[in-house]
């Protein structure tokens, strides 16, 4: 599981151009705002053209441990489907994972081969977030107390009963997905705020304020906790020692579970007890079907509700191997990023030039930003079933691309992508499940 290197290097600007358009189409979804163009398959076309450009012109093409782990899920999903009496559904689920998740992951991790390309996608992400928030504001303005709905200028309508919850187009029509996306953009706004220029600082301060306002009006408590978690993770990683960070990581899932059990969130959310029961049932599904799980997509059928926890959802549906692949890929990406942030903040070496040091510093800043953005997903996913959301694979691909760029500057850091570290992170991923189970035994 090493980075595969070819003998020549070349950049596919053609591929990145269509990846840029793909990103804009996925996040902004302008074609869905009009009835005439709403059925256009622009997203698929841009993805295919980006893939052709990557295969034809991008060198080297990198296959990282995360790629191998997630690709390994495809035959597992198919086999699990056959064992659970839904073979064709397993094939369909495996095909969907390949097309909607693995291919975007390959595109982002390979085609974002420069700092400028990464920054351009971050700007697109922030622009899309602001459009969603402004559309949500218009939903608020048009909200009808009698119909319990309000339409925004993008054509999407709000949802809610006691409270109005904003939505957007496509898979952002769920307030939870929209809120998760806004959380993941907080580090992007902070990144650009840290740059020189009073006007830019003012614009990014306004953007940060808008992001927190948008998170609030999604009405998603999971994403609100995600926003708090991202801010907390920033101070922990930058200010706390290793022991305190380890203690916080261990205690976080236990504390979240116990708070939902004994009050706090459950007092404001009548469904909290149901979610806790779903977590408990999911763990029992894993215990009774440890090897191949109950089959991808079967949790809802077995329990009646989704698990509202991505980690437990994957473990219950795909068993020990499936969760090890999925959780291992996520934890490994976070682990490598954390080691880079804590132990390699600067480029050292007798033969290192000032230009290399400056380039490394700029890339390191991007890595730190993407690390906290991905942490936003990891935290929010604890309260939502978004284990195969496209957002996961877009931002995971960005984080992996950052690793590749850093390794080009400092090849000695490639040792972090060793097989022992992969196995170690697979083991670490199971701490989440074990700790939640312990907390549930105490709280329920």
Q: 228 and 369: one domain? A: yes
Contact 317, 294 (CB under 8 A): yes
Identify whether residues 180 and 228 lie together within a single domain: no
d(CA 24, CA 120): 11
Classify 376 as helix, strand or coil: helix
When pLDDT is averaged across residues 84-90 and rounded to a whole number, the result is 75
In the predicted structure, residue 297 carries a pLDDT above the cut 50? yes
Question: What is the mean predicted confidence (pLDDT) over 260-275?
Answer: 54
One domain, residues 397 and 347: yes
Note whether 444 and 305 are same-domain residues.
Answer: yes
Domain enclosing residue 309, as ranges: 220-444
Instruction: Check whether residue 331 and residue 224 sit in a common domain.
Output: yes
SS3 content of the chain, % helix, strand, coil (to 5): 75, 0, 25
69 domain residue, yes or no: no
**Residue 243 and residue 156 share a domain:** no
Q: How many domains does the chain have?
A: 2
Task: Check whether residue 237 and residue 162 sit in a common domain.
Answer: no
Q: Under the phi-then-psi rule, with left for phi > 0, alpha for psi from -120 to 50, and beta for the rest, what region is 296?
A: beta
What pLDDT is recorded for position 419? 94
Domain stop point among 178, 200, 219: 219
Place of tokens 């949802």: 159
Q: According to DSSP H, which parts of 112-197 are helical?
A: 115-141, 175-193
The C-alpha R_g of the chain, in whole angstroms, comes to 21
**Which among 191, 219, 247 is the end of a domain?**
219
Query: What is the mean predicted confidence (pLDDT) over 425-434?
Result: 90
Q: For residues 257 and 191, state if they share a domain.
A: no
**pLDDT tens digits along 352-366:** 788 888 999 999 999
- Whether 238 and 157 map to the same domain: the answer is no
For the stretch 49-86, pLDDT in tens is: 999 999 999 988 999 999 999 999 999 999 888 887 77
**135 lies in the same domain as 268:** no
Cβ 392 vs Cβ 97: under 8 Å: no
> Which pLDDT belongs to residue 1?
41
Domain boundary (219, 244, 260) is at 219
Token digits of residue 340: 């880079």
Same domain for 444 and 351: yes
Is the confidence at residue 369, as pLDDT, over 60? yes
171 and 305: one domain? no
CB 214 within 8 Å of CB 166: yes
What are the two backbone dihedrals, phi and then psi, of residue 375, each rounded to the nearest 5 degrees? -60, -35
Helix (H) or strand (E) segment spanning residue 71: helix 65-71
Nearest to 105 by CA among 42, 51, 160: 51
Residue 43 lies in a domain: no
The whole-number pLDDT of residue 20 equals: 97
Determine the Cα–Cα distance for residues 111 and 109; give it in Å rounded to an integer. Answer: 6
Do residues 111 and 19 make contact, with C-beta atoms less than 8 angstroms apart?
yes
116 pLDDT more than 90 = yes
Q: pLDDT above 90 covers what percent of the chain?
A: 49
**What average pLDDT does the chain have?**
85
Instruction: Give the pLDDT confidence of 175-193 residue by residue, as tens digits.
Output: 999 999 999 999 999 999 9
Q: How far from 393 is each of 108, 309, 326, 388, CA to CA, in Å?
A: 8, 17, 11, 8
Residue 390 domain-assigned? yes
**What pLDDT score was predicted for residue 212?**
94
Question: What is the average pLDDT across 248-266?
Answer: 56
Higher pLDDT, 225 or 188: 188
């Amino acid at each position: 599981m090493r980075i595969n290197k070819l003998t020549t290097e070349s950049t596919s600007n053609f591929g990145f151009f269509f990846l840029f358009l793909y990103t804009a189409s996925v996040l902004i979804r302008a074609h869905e705002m009009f009835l005439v163009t709403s059925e256009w398959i622009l997203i698929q076309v841009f993805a295919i053209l980006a893939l052709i450009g990557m295969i034809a012109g991008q060198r080297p093409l990198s296959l990282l441990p995360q790629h191998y782990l997630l690709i390994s899920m495809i035959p597992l999903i198919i086999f699990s489907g056959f064992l659970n009496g839904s073979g064709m559904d397993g094939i369909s689920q495996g095909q969907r994972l390949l097309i909607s998740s693995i291919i975007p992951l390959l595109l982002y991790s390979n085609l974002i081969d420069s700092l400028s390309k990464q920054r351009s996608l971050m700007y697109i992400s922030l622009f899309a977030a602001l459009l969603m928030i402004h559309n949500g504001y218009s939903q608020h303005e048009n909200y009808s107390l009698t119909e319990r709905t309000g339409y925004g200028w993008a054509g999407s309508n709000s949802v809610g009963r006691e409270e109005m919850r904003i939505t957007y187009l496509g898979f952002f029509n769920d307030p939870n997905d929209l809120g998760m996306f806004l959380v993941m953009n907080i580090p992007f706004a902070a990144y650009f705020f840290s740059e020189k220029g009073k006007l830019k600082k003012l614009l990014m301060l306004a953007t940060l304020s808008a992001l927190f306002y948008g998170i609030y009006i999604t009405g998603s408590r999971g994403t609100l906790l995600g926003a708090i978690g991202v801010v907390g993770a920033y101070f922990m990683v930058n200010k706390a020692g290793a022991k305190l960070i380890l203690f916080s990581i261990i205690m976080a899932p236990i504390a979240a579970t116990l708070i939902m059990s004994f009050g706090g969130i459950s007092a404001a959310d009548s469904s909290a007890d149901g979610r806790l029961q779903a977590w408990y049932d999911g763990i029992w599904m894993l215990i009774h079907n440890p090897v191949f799980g109950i089959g991808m997509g079967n949790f809802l059928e077995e329990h009646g509700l989704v698990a509202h926890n991505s980690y437990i959802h994957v473990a219950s549906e795909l068993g020990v191997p499936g969760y090890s692949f999925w959780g291992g890929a996520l934890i490994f990406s976070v682990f490598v990023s954390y080691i880079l942030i804590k132990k390699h903040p600067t480029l050292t070496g007798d033969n290192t030039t000032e230009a290399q040091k400056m380039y490394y510093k700029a890339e390191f800043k991007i890595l730190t930003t993407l690390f906290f953005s991905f942490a936003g997903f990891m935290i929010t996913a604890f309260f939502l079933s978004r284990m195969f959301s496209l957002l996961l694979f877009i931002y995971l691909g960005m984080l992996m691309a950052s690793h590749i760029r850093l390794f080009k500057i400092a090849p000695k850091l490639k040792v972090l992508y060793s097989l022992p570290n992969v196995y170690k992170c697979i083991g670490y991923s199971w701490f989440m499940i074990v700790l939640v189970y312990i907390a549930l035994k105490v709280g329920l």
